[in-house]
Structure 1
Amino acid sequence: MDRLFNSHWFVRVIAFFVALMLFAMVNQDNLGNQPSVLPTISNSSYTLEEVELQVNYNEDEFVLTDAPSTVQINLSGSRSALAYFQMMRPAYEVFVDATELEEGTHRAQIQYRGFPSELSVSVTPTTANIELQEIQTSSFPVQVDLINTDNVEEGYTVGTPIVTPINVDVTNAREWLSYVESAKVFVDMDGADGTVEDEYPVHIYNSDGLELEMDSNPNFVSVRVPVTSPNKMVPVNIKRTGKLKAGLSIENIELEPGDVTVYGPSDYIENLESLGGVEIDLSKIDESTTVELEIPVPEGAERVEPESISVDVTVGEEEERELSSVPLTIMGTSDDKTAVFQTEQPALINVTAFGTEDQLNRMSTSDFQAYVDISEASAGNKELPIEFNGPQNIRFETEDSDALLTITDESE
Structure 2
Amino acid sequence: MDKLFNSHWFVKIISFFIALMLFTMVNMDNLASQPGGVLPTINPTYTLEDVELTVLYDEENYAITDKTEHVQVNLRGPQAQLTLFQLTRPSYEVFVDVTDRGEGVHTLSVQHRNFPSELSVSIVPQYVRVELQEKQTVSFPVQVDIINSNEVEEGYTVGTPIVSPINVDVTAARNLVGEVSVAKAFVDVAGADRTIEETTPVKLYDKDGKELFLTVEPQVVDVKVPITSPNRLVPAKVTRIGELPEGLSINNIKIEPEEVTIYGPNDIIERTNVVDVGELDLNELTESETLEMTVPVPPGIERVSPEKVNVVVTIDEEDSVDFEDVPVETIGSQDDEDVTFNGTSNPTISIRAKGSAELLERLSLADIQVFVDVSDLAAGEHEVEVQVNGPPNIRFEVEDLMIPVEIIERTD
Question: Offset of 1:93 from its aligned partner?
Answer: 1.2
**3-state DSSP class of the match of 1:30?**
helix
Between 108-117 and 264-273, the greater mean CA deviation after superposition:
264-273
What secondary structure is seen at the aligned counterpart in 2 of 1:393? coil
Say if 1:12 and 1:314 are closer, same or farther in 2 by CA, change over 3 A.
closer
In the alignment of these two chains, the number of paired residues is 401
Are 1:213 and 2:240 counterparts? no
Provide the residue aligned with 2:140 in structure 1. Answer: 140
Q: Mean Cα displacement is larger for which, 45-54 or 377-386?
A: 377-386
Give the direction of change, closer, same or farther, for the CA distance of 1:289–1:151 in structure 2 (3 Å limit). Answer: same
Using the TM superposition, give the Cα deviation of residue 111 of structure 1 relative to its aligned residue in structure 2, in angstroms: 1.2
Cα distance, 1:113 vs. partner?
A: 1.7
Counterpart of 2:159 in structure 1 is 159
Write the distance in 2 (CA, Å) between the matches of 1:379 and 1:307: 54
Offset from partner CA, 1:270-301 (integer Å, 9 cap, x none)? 44443334332211210122222333232233
How far has the Cα of 1:253 moved from its partner?
A: 2.3
User: CA-to-partner distance for each residue in 1:61-114, whole Å, 9 max, x for gaps?
Assistant: 111111111111111223222222222222211111222222211111111122
1:83 and 2:83 aligned: yes
TM-score, structure 2 as length reference: 0.81
Q: Which residue of 1 aligns with 2:120?
A: 120
Contact 1:330 1:339 in 2 (8 A): no
- Compute the displacement of 1:146 (Å): 2.5
Deviation at 1:27, TM superposition (A): 4.7
Q: CA deviation at 1:60?
A: 0.8
- Note if contact 2:277-2:293 (Cα within 8 Å) is conserved in structure 1: no
Equivalent residue number for residue 180 of structure 1: 180
What is the aligned partner in structure 2 of residue 93 from structure 1? Answer: 93
Q: Label 1:11 to 1:280 Cα distance change in 2 as closer, same or farther (>3 A).
A: closer
Residues 333-368 of structure 1, C-alpha deviations (whole Å, 9 max, x = no match): 6789x8978989x96555443323343343333323
CA contact (8 A) 1:73 1:122 kept: yes
State the 1:202 CA deviation: 1.5
1:41-66: CA deviation from partner (whole Å, max 9, x where unpaired):
97321111111111111111111111
Question: Secondary structure at the residue paired with 1:49?
Answer: strand
Deviations 1:361-384 (A, max 9, x none): 433333233445577899999877
Q: Contact 2:323–2:351 (CA<8 Å) still a contact in 1? A: yes
Identity of aligned residues (%): 49
Deviations along 1:230-266, whole A, 9 cap, x unmatched? Answer: 3333332222111101111112223333233333333
**Tell me, which stretches of 5 or more residues in structure 1 are unaligned?**
none
Determine the C-alpha separation between the residues in 2 that align with 1:391 and 1:242: 19
Q: Distance in 1 between matches of 2:149 and 2:18?
A: 77
- Going from structure 1 to structure 2, the CA distance change for 1:15 and 1:295 (only over 3 Å counts) comes to closer
One-letter amino acid of the structure 2 residue matched with residue 189 of structure 1: V
Report the CA distance shift for 1:15/1:238 in structure 2 as closer, same or farther (over 3 A). closer
Flag the 1:126–1:376 CA change in 2: closer, same or farther, 3 A: farther
Judged with a 3 Å threshold, the aligned counterparts in structure 2 of structure 1 residues 332 and 82 are, in CA distance, closer, same or farther, namely farther
- 1:226 maps to which residue? 226
Kindly report the root-mean-square deviation, in angstroms, between the aligned alpha carbons of the 2 structures: 3.9
Distance, in Å, in 2 between the alignment partners of 1:5 and 1:40 is 41
Mapped to 2, the partners of 1:378 and 1:194 lie a distance apart of 59
Q: Is the 8 A contact 1:339 1:405 kept in 2?
A: no
Partner in structure 2 of residue 285 of structure 1: 285
Matched, 1:72 2:76: no
TM normalised by structure 1 equals: 0.81
SS at match of 2:82: helix
Aligned position for 2:310: 310
Structure 1 334/118 Cα, relative in aligned 2: closer, same or farther at 3 Å?
A: farther
1:143-169 deviation line (CA, Å, top 9, x unaligned):
222332232334433333322222211
Q: What's the counterpart of residue 236 of structure 2? A: 236
Higher mean C-alpha deviation, range 138-147 or range 393-402: 393-402
Distance 1:14 1:225 in 2: 72
* Unpaired segments ≥5 residues, structure 2: none
Distance in 2, matches of 1:84 and 1:407, equals 128
Task: Describe the shift of the 1:91–1:334 C-alpha distance in structure 2 as closer, same or farther (beyond 3 A).
Answer: farther
